[in-house]
Structure 1
């Protein structure tokens, strides 16, 4: 008698999010070094095998937690592309991305993870690298691609990358340092808009300068 082979059960999206949420909380509370896959499994109420079925390592889990936070503020790669694929001007694009970036900077969990990274970076630079790759580096790479696209061939990738870096630096400025030190209150919506507009205007001036300069060559 022929037997029907049972199909494997698909990975549960619910369990994926349970694991990711538990890991995010533990990374914030205990730090990277003191969080293990065992403690993540226990906190999420699943087996260690289930954790590994979704995330191949603690490094992968940490990067996923950082990416998830960026995604919640529409700052992951695909969402940045989607946001700029319509009829937005470069200034409007910078406004949209900038406002979300500032909101992420003052998110209590984002501030907490920055502090964790700073505390552990001296003894574990690997953790800082993981954080940078999953968060700032990925978003900067996409933003620079968007800026280069607006240049329509008159802006090379290196200059576009520098403009993206400059834009994020202007947004952070003294404000982010003060947030990390706990001596700056979160900006209100109108303050965020004014802060972002000021940074966007400066980048637009630089963008125009470089594109016009290349057009003359």
Structure 2
């Protein structure tokens, strides 16, 4: 009975997140109300607030959930070749940041930065900063095992992520043509990772 209740509660939670993500994309964060989220999710407004205390909390969770799924490093990869692990991580990172949804949220935060700085702060902490920490944790493990020589894992993570973004991401942010073939994307990421590992004295 308790397990069934938990399952139903989780299903409603996922319905709410899916509805909110869709509405944020269609109408923008500021124009989306919790009433609309509840209606599209097929739940009561009270249920929405029971899972998420505010629209800010819901927005933050939507960003966090996508970052966690897209850029987590599974335990099954921990013992594998760092170049392969980083390649898979950076591939997922690149796909995420160049998605239509991610670009929309970024532009939304930029346009609202002066009037709603809290929105930008939540986005930065739930998205870019979370991804940086995930990568830094993995790099710190490589440092402790003697495979890399880096004094500051967070700085190293920042450097690799910025190389992974490249000029393509700037073009995408500006709304310019930024399509890239899979072959070119793989070459760009592979070059960045090779340069990164070499610079930090990778010992295979």
**What TM-score, normalized to structure 2?**
0.87
How far, CA to CA, are the matches of 2:42 and 2:131 in structure 1?
32
Partner of residue 39 from structure 1, selected from 36, 39, 42: 36
Q: Give the drift of 1:58.
A: 1.4
Partner of residue 141 from structure 1, selected from 129, 133, 136: 133
How far, CA to CA, are the matches of 2:57 and 2:150 in structure 1?
29
1:14-25 matched pairs, under 5 angstroms: 14-25=11-22
- Asked if 1:174 is matched to 2:185, the reply is no
How far, CA to CA, are the matches of 2:192 and 2:200 in structure 1?
12
Deviates more, 1:7-16 or 1:164-173: 7-16
Larger radius of gyration: 1
Aligned pair count reads 200
The corresponding residue for 1:30 is: 27
Instruction: Classify the secondary structure of the residue corresponding to 1:183.
Output: coil
The corresponding residue for 1:67 is: 64
How far, CA to CA, are the matches of 1:46 and 1:184 in structure 2?
40
Contact 1:26/1:35, CA 8 A, preserved across alignment: yes
Deviates more, 1:94-103 or 1:113-122: 113-122
Instruction: Classify the secondary structure of the residue corresponding to 2:124.
Output: helix
CA deviation digits over 1:97-129, x for unaligned, max 9?
111111112211111111111111121111011
Q: Give the drift of 1:52.
A: 1.3
How far, CA to CA, are the matches of 2:125 and 2:27 in structure 1?
21
Please, which runs of 5 or more residues in structure 1 have no aligned partner? 1-5, 212-217
Partner of residue 191 from structure 2, selected from 198, 201, 204: 198
Contact 2:168/2:178, CA 8 A, preserved across alignment: no
The corresponding residue for 1:121 is: 113
Runs of 4+ residues deviating >6 angstroms:
none
Partner of residue 187 from structure 1, selected from 176, 180, 186: 180
**What TM-score, normalized to structure 1?**
0.82
CA deviation digits over 1:128-186, x for unaligned, max 9?
11111111111111111111110126678861111100011111121111012222333
Contact 1:95/1:200, CA 8 A, preserved across alignment: yes
Q: CA RMSD in A?
A: 2.4
Please, which runs of 5 or more residues in structure 2 have no aligned partner? none
Instruction: Classify the secondary structure of the residue corresponding to 1:56.
Output: coil
